[in-house]
Amino acid sequence: MAGQPLKYYIDLLESGELVAFPTETVYGLGARADNPTAVKKIFDLKGRPTDNPLIVHVSNRAMVSAFARNIPESAKVLMDKFWPGPLTLIFKKKDQVLDLITAGMDTVAIRMPDHDTALSLIDGAGPLVAPSANKSGRPSPTLPQHVRTDFGESLPVIEDQPTRIGIESTVLDLTEEPYCILRPGAVTLEQIQEVIDHPVVLTRDKKRLGEEETRSPGMKYTHYAPRASVRWLSKTETDIMPTCLYLIHSGHHPLLEENTDKNTPPSIINYNQDYDQLARELYDRFRQADQQGFKQIAIEAFSEKTLESRQITVALKNRILKAIGK
């Protein structure tokens, strides 16, 4: 970790300042969860709507009880299996939880990041609320320079390596049955169902909760979007547009095959079925496209077979759809 010692950032958080820090998913913009003035700074700095709830980040299981009530036994099983890790759990909240954190709802989202720096920071400063450290609607940051691109040099950023997963955590609502994945991530529905004896459903819309109650970040607004327009790549496209960046994941799209013999141009990125790498690099590719002047980003659509057999692809499709604006 380059830069200042960790205590420097802990002291900043304790004094009510914001600090950007790495997790295994994306870089978070942290504030003490018990400081309403600091929490409000997050919304102001990001330009984030106040009806978009925040996730509380903890470093041990004991911290959960300060925010959540009616913790079901299945939550303890999930924490045993997946914490620390990219799984956020939604509980009924305790009265003392700030309404600004929960968007005025009676639920609170909590996770324990799987990153030593993040855990040490929380150990020192206490539970933190930490949405992604980017301007609202922009691609989430997976590198320290992404944070600086959005906020400049004045925001304290804890330097670290690129994030290991690259997309945000799975969000699982435990307050109603069937349990519901409100935002897919690296922990899949199948993995969750393997460890708990409860039905779990996957949804990416608000029908189950109602239009006015959106319990998870990433549900209500366009997110993760570069300035370039994002679209799905047609199965039959073979002509390269000079202003378009192409992301291909299957390894055998006609566009790739048509241009292989002509030395594949740098505007065609082939992930060759490495979906974990695509997840790690997706937001960076979005940001690079803007820096390089591309007007469009065309991404190969996922087949049903790929969505069923590859763990991270459901989450990737979700983020791409959000970037498209759906």
Give the pLDDT confidence of 189-237 residue by residue, as tens digits. Answer: 999 999 999 999 987 444 544 544 566 665 555 678 999 999 999 999 9
**Backbone phi and psi for residue 31, each to the nearest 5 degrees, phi listed first:** -145, 150
Amino acid at 58: V
Q: What pairing do the DSSP bridges indicate for beta strands 68-69 and 170-173? A: unpaired
Judged against a pLDDT cut of 70, whether residue 300 lies above it is answered with: yes
Give the count of beta carbons closer than 10 Å to the beta carbon of residue 17.
17
- For the chain, the domains span 6-202, 229-324
What is the secondary structure of 152-194 as a DSSP string?
-SSS-B---PPPSS-SPPEEEE-SSSSEEEEE--SS-HHHHHH
With a cut of 80, say whether residue 66 has pLDDT above it.
yes
Kindly state the average pLDDT of the residues 282-306: 96
CB 41 within 8 A of CB 31: yes
> Which one, of 218, 220, 184, lies nearest residue 200 by Cα?
184
pLDDT value of residue 86: 98
pLDDT at 206: 47
- pTM value is 0.93
Choosing among 3.90.870.10, 3.30.2350.10, 3.20.20.80, 1.10.287.110, the CATH entry for 6-202 is 3.90.870.10
pLDDT average, residue stretch 246-257: 90
Backbone region of residue 108 per phi and psi (left: phi > 0; alpha: psi in -120 to 50; beta: other values): beta
> Band of the pLDDT at 252, cuts 50, 70, 90?
confident
d(CA 60, CA 256): 47
What is the arithmetic mean of pLDDT over 47-69?
96
pLDDT the model gives residue 221? 56
For residue 140, what is the DSSP state?
Answer: P
Neighbours of 80 (CB within 10 A): 10
Share of the chain above pLDDT 70, in %: 92
- CA-to-CA distance for 61 and 103, rounded, in angstroms? 24
- pLDDT classification of 17: cutoffs 50, 70, 90: very high
- Two tokens at 143? 């590198």
Q: Which of 288, 282, 284 is nearest to 317 (CA)?
A: 282
Could you read off the pLDDT of 85-105 as tens digits, one per residue?
999 999 999 999 999 999 999
Residues 58-83, mean pLDDT to the nearest whole number: 97
How much is the pLDDT for 263?
63
Q: How far apart are CA 196 and CA 174, in angstroms?
A: 12
In the structure encoding, which two tokens stand for residue 248, read together?
Answer: 């291909």
